[in-house]
Structure 1
Amino acid sequence: MPGWELIIGCVGKPSAGKSTLFNAVTDGNAKVGNYPFTTIEPNTGISYYLTECPCVKRHCSEKCSPIYGFCKHGQRQIPVKLLDVAGLIPGASEGAGLGNKFLDDLRHAHVLIHIVDVSGRTNEKGENTVGYDPSRDIDWLYDEIHAWIFNNINKRWGGIIRKYKAYQVSEQPKTLAEMLQLQFSGYGTTPAQSEAIVHYMDLKEPVDLSTWEAGDIHKLVDAFMYIRFPIIVALNKADCKGETDHNILKIMQRYNKDNIKANSNDHLRVRDIVVISAASECFLKKLAAQKYITYNRGDQMFLTHDDEVETYGSSKLKKLDPTVESRLNKIMDMVLFRYGSTGVWKVINTAVECMHPTIVYPVTSWSTLKGPRGNTLSTCYMLHQHATVMDLKSLLINSESIPCVSIEAEDGRIMGEEDELENNGIVKVNSRNNVE
């Protein structure tokens, strides 16, 4: 999809349910080529960010016709790219397991979802066990990524100090953020993110890097990871019994902002936590496809044949056998009633919203709300945070070959090049081809 290609990386140890989540939130039957992302590999799929479509407020839901993604009952489903990162085990930063591949794949993601087996029935290597503390997985995965980055930076630290000092006395001095960008660009870091790291650490120019010790470099890496690799933790297998509830409560309490200790970096390790049951979503998705239930993505409930007969007087759904009905009752009791959904779409949304994207709907007519491609609200772009009119015009002209002259806000005002676009807003594209 034209626009900002936001990539979510799914990470976690073997057997945590990473592949199950991947299958739950991607359409395995869809040909990847139908979605115009730049590169698609075997471990990449298409998921969806769910948000309210402007067609609801504009009372045109029946006409809404997206080119990419879907609009169902006023819920816009915007394609995002999902990367199933190679399995990780402790020691990855030193090359253990698929460590090198994992850490290389990581560079392509903007935000990470760490899938954790919250049942405690698999150890750090994904082997079956009992009584394992899943909070340890949150720690060692963060520590492995941290160690990988720290080792790369620390061994070059002397050279970094010399270059920074040289740049400060040169005819074209570089700021600390510009210097850090030179070091972090290999991780896919943007100049804006390097600026954010300096701001987050409250560093004032000039900085005497020669006085920094290992602890200071570790703090730099913590800040870098918080900005560059935000981690959303998905506590998976919430439908399991045993120690699951205890483990969920323990992790939630530890990462509650009011409980984090002043000398801890826990607030940097986890941006947010979502309880999920990927297996439950896969089961509901399968039954819906086979016409046994009516179920929509992210819903708190589903309807069976008997439910529809009781509500509507008739049903085209197939009747359930006792075994399937029993499992559905378990999902309803253990997951949907407790958490409001299976959580899988919530965790995708949480990951996307962590990056604060700008969603914009360009149209060529206020009366018809037809997009540049012809249909009602057909075009939706996901752009980066603080995206401007200039960003949108560049996309329209260079990527879509639309001769955009100006962008008009909903109040009729012609927007300036540096004006920021409103998230989930509609704008009118004035071009040589459309006059209204």
Structure 2
Amino acid sequence: MPRDPLIGLVGKPSSGKSGIRSVPIELLDVAGLVPGAHQGKGLGNKFLDDLRHADALIHVVDVSGTTDAEGKATRGYDPSVDIVWLRSEIVNWILGNLMQKWGGLKRRHIAIKATAVETLQNQFSGYGSNSAIVARTLDKMQLKQPLQDWTDDTIASVVNHFVDEKFPTVIALNKIDHADSDKNVAKIAKMEKPERLVLCSAISEVFLRRLVKQGFVRYIPGSEFVDTRDDLIEQGEADGGGLKEMDEKLKQRIENLKDMVLYRFGSTGVNQVLTRASELLGLVPVFPVRNIGTFGGGEAGGGGGGEKAAVFRDCVLVKKRSTVGDVYRKVMGDAPLAYVETVGGVRVSEEDEVGVGKNDILSFKVGRA
């Protein structure tokens, strides 16, 4: 199974100082899927087995309608269908496995007087689940009847809620700059929760990153801005930032990309897909720094070899409701902790929670208090 590291932008410092930090994530490029996968069609079994290793799913949808359900080139295809049947395949895979064992599972549940969480976790562990995920699933459903009295409809509902909890999904609506995309985006937007949708143009992102490597543009992934040599000269950089001169054809391509993607949608959307996935998982970016004054690793004010610019040294992702102490142990391990400071040199407790804009910039002082 390919596992490709990718850098995703996750946040900006909440204090107003400049800087963006990235964190590495792992993308699992899973096998392709066709309708009927839960019955073993195509590479269905491989795809569904791959899902066990994922914390979140990114479903890339060709919103231009130029690719059908089997990946063949076409025109006028309704991409909303892909969203429906993909979820259906996952649900039917889990539901089918569960129903095959339900009779024996129910008898054992009664005999050992297990809780519903215990019984379901025994079945769902193979999908990468844990007891907390199962418990959240049942809590949200607020079921009153005991497991042995569940109807087929109740079991199907449990599986649907479990899929939502175990496989939070971002739907990346790709090829947004295609002429046929607007109507498809509008249809899908009526079907899905807005927090699940991200508009993107992967080919635009690839193009811009290639130009950066070739020295033609200045571009930060996830940004709505791209600067050419001419742009930087206009902004006062006499040498144009050291960028190469472009021919008229390349200049026009960049202007078209700006108009069709960056100015219209605010970015190519590729990095936003990764950020949205971390948000669905409830992950919080926290910035551990050595110097709380510069947000860097040296001494304040740049003296003694310290850092002159305010820049984050690192970023880690932690789960919601994590404490300062949880972050410390993730970063520093078992080293003794003297005290912790946040923005302004304010001391915080190990029991204080972290969140976006709350104790998310931390300086740990190692030693005995």
User: TM-score per shorter chain, which class?
Assistant: 0.7 to 0.9
Q: Secondary structure at the match of 1:421?
A: coil
Is 1:138 matched up with 2:83? yes
The code of the aligned residue for 1:294 comes to R
Local SS of the residue matching 2:112 = helix
Over residues 12-37 of structure 1, what are the superposed CA-to-partner deviations in whole Å (9 max), with x where a residue is unaligned? xxxxxxxxxxxxxxxxxxxxxxxxxx
Partners of 2:185 and 2:214 in 1: how far apart? Answer: 33
Question: In structure 2, what is the Cα distance between the partners aligned to 1:149 and 1:432?
Answer: 50
Identify if the C-alpha distance between structure 1 residues 321 and 361 changes in structure 2 by more than 3 Å, giving closer, same or farther. closer
Letter in 1 for 2:148: S
* 1:128 and 2:52 correspond: no
Quote the Cα distance in structure 2 between the aligned partners of 1:362 and 1:217.
Answer: 44
CA distance in 2: counterparts of 1:358 and 1:163, whole angstroms? 40
User: Could you say which residue in structure 2 is the equivalent of 1:310?
Assistant: 234
Equivalent-residue separation in structure 1 for 2:115 and 2:52 (angstroms): 24
- The reply to whether residue 255 of structure 1 matches residue 195 of structure 2 is no
CA distance in 1 between partners of 2:5 and 2:350 (Å): 36
Instruction: State the distance in 2 between where 1:235 and 1:77 align.
Output: 23
The aligned residue for residue 386 of structure 1 is 321
- Indicate conservation of the 8 Å contact 1:238/1:277, yes or no: yes
Q: Deviations over 1:204-243 (max 9, x none)?
A: 4xx33333332222111110011110111111011222x2
1:430 Cα deviation from its structure 2 partner: 4.4
* Deviation, structure 1 residue 150: 0.8
Does the aligned pair in 2 maintain the 1:305–1:317 contact within 8 Å? yes
Match of 2:214 in 1: 290
User: Partners in 2 of 1:369 and 1:326 — Cα distance?
Assistant: 40
Q: Does 1:52 align with 2:7?
A: no
Other-structure match for 2:275: 349
TM-score by length of 2: 0.86
- What pairs up with 1:142-157 in 2 under 5 angstroms? 142-157=87-102
Secondary structure of residue in 1 paired with 2:219: coil
Q: Cα distance 1:311–1:388, how it changes in 2: closer, same or farther (>3 A)?
A: closer
Provide the residue aligned with 2:64 in structure 1: 119
CA shift for structure 1 position 411 = 3.5
Shift of 1:134: 0.4
Query: Do residues 223 (structure 1) and 223 (structure 2) align?
Result: no
Aligned length: 353
Partners in 1 of 2:349 and 2:250 — Cα distance? 58
Contact 1:358 1:384 in 2 (8 A): yes
Q: Which runs of 5+ in 2 are unaligned?
A: 299-305
1:182 to 115, 122, 136: 122
Q: Percent identity?
A: 38
**1:389 to partner: Cα distance:** 4.5
Task: Give distance in 1, aligned partners of 2:209 and 2:197.
Answer: 23
2:196 matched to 1:236? no
The residue that corresponds to 1:87 in the other structure is 32
Distance 1:158 1:99, change over 3 A: same
Q: Which residue, out of 326, 339, 353, partners 1:420? A: 353
Q: Does the alignment pair 1:96 with 2:20? A: no
Measure the CA separation in 2 of the matches of 1:314 and 1:406.
47
Deviation track 1:122-143 (CA, whole Å, cap 9, x = no partner) reads: 1100001111100011011111
- Flag the 1:402–1:363 CA change in 2: closer, same or farther, 3 A: farther
Secondary structure of 2:7's counterpart equals strand
Alignment match of 2:136 (pick from 185, 196, 199): 196
Q: Is 1:245 the counterpart of 2:182 in the alignment?
A: yes
CA distance, structure 2, for counterparts of residue 377 and residue 384 of structure 1: 20
Change in Cα spacing, 1:76 to 1:394, as seen in structure 2 (3 Å) is: closer
- Choose 125-134 or 383-392, whichever is displaced more: 383-392
Does residue 402 (structure 1) correspond to residue 330 (structure 2)? The answer is: no
Kindly tell me: are residues 371 and 199 of structure 1, through their superposed partners in 2, closer, same or farther at Cα, counting changes over 3 Å?
farther
Q: Residues 77 and 413 (structure 1 numbering): CA distance in 2 closer, same or farther, change over 3 Å? A: closer
CA distance in 1, matches of 2:294, 2:256: 47
For residues 254 and 370 of structure 1, do their structure 2 counterparts lie closer, same or farther at Cα, with a shift above 3 Å needed? closer
| Structure (1/2) with the larger helix percentage | 2
Give the Cα–Cα distance (whole angstroms) in 1 for the partners of residues 314 and 239 of structure 2.
38
Q: Distance in 1 between matches of 2:324 and 2:219?
A: 39
**Could you tell me how far apart the structure 1 residues matched to 2:60 and 2:189 are?**
15
Distance 1:432 1:339, change over 3 A: same
Q: 1:323 to 1:393 in 2, by over 3 A?
A: closer
CA distance in 1, matches of 2:111, 2:346: 52
**Match of 1:171?**
none
* DSSP-derived class of the 1:303 partner: strand
Deviation of 1:45 after TM superposition, in Å, equals 2.1
1:106 aligned residue = 51
Measure how far apart 1:89 and its partner are. 1.4
Q: Secondary structure at the match of 2:227?
A: coil
- Residue 140 of structure 1 aligns to a residue whose secondary structure is helix
Are the counterparts in 2 of residues 406 and 431 from structure 1 also a CA contact under 8 Å? yes
Partners of 1:379 and 1:332 in 2: CA distance: 31
**Secondary structure of the corresponding residue to residue 22 of structure 2:** strand
What's the CA shift for 1:355?
A: 1.0
Deviations 1:335-384 (A, max 9, x none): 11221111111111111111111333345665676669x99853433222
Q: CA deviation at 1:413?
A: 4.3
